[in-house]
């Protein structure tokens, strides 16, 4: 029965592993190589400069600002998004009032709410960014017009204020990503036996207690994976797209919204310093790996089964 097993497995893995190496691993290796060069990205000619790009990066104030903004996104965005998603999912599946024949039930209309929460997920991130760019417009935007209608005359320039711009962008990212995790956590909660909740309620446990003692421990693996996913999303393409479209400059004002992916893009395609841009890209890779490792380490706990 075991004869030829490993040859069979290797045969199935050969093609996907080859494609993975070519399209994923090899570009990483190329990026690390180019980070030691002065390549402009436009000319085939370049020379090795050793660690000059890395020394330049460590003395680059814009890089440190970008790193600070990216780390802030990677910490705050998952915390807020997953917190809201867990609350909404719990209310939609467990937090409703008792109804005839069901001690455990979600709020009324939970099916509609799931669709409503998930709706932003079907929109292109570019469409979302453009819509909110209009909404945050200081002169005729929906937000400021609503504030004026409520009697506020001194309305802020949301995306033009260095103190507010990044927080506005974070709010948009929370709005367009929370619905995905509401649906994901709802699916996880639906698989938890109702007997657990009913037994806890009979013992006098409150809804808050059942959340922290039953729901969260049994969903912990999903929450941990969601945290890593949200961090990678904030450090990657989605964070870049929102900032590039919505912010002034982009990346402004005064580099107050510049994140590492945007700085890589600007350095490579605006400034013609592809070698230096790949150096920043290597730093972004290390930050992403470190973030994932820290989350997986801090979130490690004994696996619960039911």
User: Distance between CA atoms of 186 and 174, rounded to whole angstroms?
Assistant: 18
**pLDDT value at position 95?**
67
- What whole-number percentage of the chain has pLDDT above 70? 93
Mean pLDDT to the nearest integer, 148-171: 89
**pLDDT value at position 45?**
84
Alpha carbon separation from 128 to 240, 241, 246, 258, 265 (Å, rounded)? 13, 10, 10, 19, 21
**pLDDT value at position 14?**
86
Model confidence over 179-232: pLDDT tens digits? 899 988 988 888 888 788 778 777 777 778 888 888 888 888 888 888 888 888
Which one of 1.10.8.60, 3.40.190.80, 1.10.3720.10, 3.40.50.360 gives the CATH number of domain 55-298?
1.10.3720.10
Count other Cβ atoms within 10 Å, centred on residue 275: 23
**pLDDT value at position 103?**
56
In which band, very low, low, confident or very high, does the pLDDT at 147 lie, cut at 50, 70 and 90? Answer: confident
In which band, very low, low, confident or very high, does the pLDDT at 3 lie, cut at 50, 70 and 90? Answer: low
Model confidence over 59-75: pLDDT tens digits? 999 999 999 999 999 99
Nearest C-alpha neighbor of 73 from the set 81, 61, 62, 63? 81
Model confidence over 230-289: pLDDT tens digits? 888 888 878 888 999 999 888 888 899 999 999 999 999 988 899 999 999 999 999 999
Distance in angstroms between the alpha carbons of the first and the last residue of the chain: 33
Question: Domain locations in the chain?
Answer: 55-298
User: Distance between CA atoms of 136 and 143, rounded to whole angstroms?
Assistant: 6
User: Distance between CA atoms of 270 and 62, rounded to whole angstroms?
Assistant: 15
Beta carbons of 201 and 210 less than 8 angstroms apart:
yes
Q: Provide the CA 248 distance to its chain's centre, in angstroms.
A: 22
* Residue 97 in this model has a pLDDT that exceeds 80: no
**pLDDT value at position 278?**
93
* Residue 99 in this model has a pLDDT that exceeds 60: no
User: Distance between CA atoms of 34 and 79, rounded to whole angstroms?
Assistant: 35
Report which of residues 93 and 52 the model is more confident about. Answer: 52
**pLDDT value at position 265?**
92
Beta carbons of 75 and 83 less than 8 angstroms apart:
no
Which pTM was predicted? 0.86
**pLDDT value at position 232?**
87
**170: Cβ contacts below 8 Å, ≥ 6 apart:** 73, 76, 77, 80
Alpha-helical (H) ranges within the chain are 5-20, 26-34, 52-58, 61-93, 110-118, 125-135, 142-149, 165-190, 194-202, 207-210, 216-218, 220-235, 237-246, 260-265, 274-298
**pLDDT value at position 81?**
93
* Residue 114 in this model has a pLDDT that exceeds 90: no
* Residue 171 in this model has a pLDDT that exceeds 90: yes
User: Distance between CA atoms of 127 and 129, rounded to whole angstroms?
Assistant: 5
**pLDDT value at position 261?**
92
Per DSSP, 104 falls in state: S
Task: Kindly report whether the peptide bond that precedes residue 278 is cis, defined as omega within 30 degrees of 0.
Answer: no
∠ Cα 234 170 218 (to 5°)? 65
**pLDDT value at position 238?**
80
**pLDDT value at position 111?**
79
Q: Identify the bridge partners of residue 144 per DSSP, sorted by sequence position.
A: none
In which band, very low, low, confident or very high, does the pLDDT at 12 lie, cut at 50, 70 and 90? Answer: confident
User: Distance between CA atoms of 138 and 96, rounded to whole angstroms?
Assistant: 40
């Amino acid at each position: 029965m075991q004869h030829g097993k490993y040859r069979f497995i290797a045969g199935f893995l050969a093609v996907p592993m080859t494609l993975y190496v070519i399209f994923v691993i090899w570009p990483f290796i190329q990026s690390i190589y180019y980070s030691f060069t002065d390549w402009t990205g436009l000319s085939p000619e370049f020379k090795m400069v050793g660690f000059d790009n890395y020394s330049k990066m460590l003395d680059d104030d814009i890089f440190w600002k970008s790193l600070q903004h990216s780390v802030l996104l990677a910490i705050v965005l998952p915390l807020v998004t997953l917190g809201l998603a867990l609350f909404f999912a719990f209310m939609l599946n467990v937090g409703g009032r008792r109804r005839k024949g069901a001690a455990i039930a979600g709020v009324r209309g939970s099916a509609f709410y799931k669709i409503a929460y998930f709706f932003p997920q079907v929109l292109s991130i570019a469409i979302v960014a453009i819509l909110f760019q209009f909404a945050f417009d200081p002169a005729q935007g929906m937000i400021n017009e609503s504030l004026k209608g409520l009697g506020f005359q001194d309305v802020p320039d949301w995306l033009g204020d260095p103190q507010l711009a990044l927080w506005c962008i974070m709010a948009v990212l929370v709005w367009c990503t929370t619905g995905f995790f509401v649906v994901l956590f709802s699916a996880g909660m639906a698989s938890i036996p109702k007997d657990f909740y009913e037994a806890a309620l009979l013992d006098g446990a409150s809804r808050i207690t059942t959340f922290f003692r039953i729901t969260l421990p049994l969903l912990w693996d999903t929450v941990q994976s969601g945290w890593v996913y949200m961090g990678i999303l904030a450090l990657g393409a989605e964070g870049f797209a929102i900032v590039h479209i919505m912010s002034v400059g982009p990346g402004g004002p005064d580099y107050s919204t510049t994140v590492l992916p945007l700085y890589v893009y600007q350095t490579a395609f605006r400034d013609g310093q592809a070698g230096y841009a790949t150096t920043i890209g290597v730093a972004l890779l290390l930050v992403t790996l470190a973030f994932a490792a820290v989350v997986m380490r801090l979130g490690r706990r004994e696996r619960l089964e039911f």
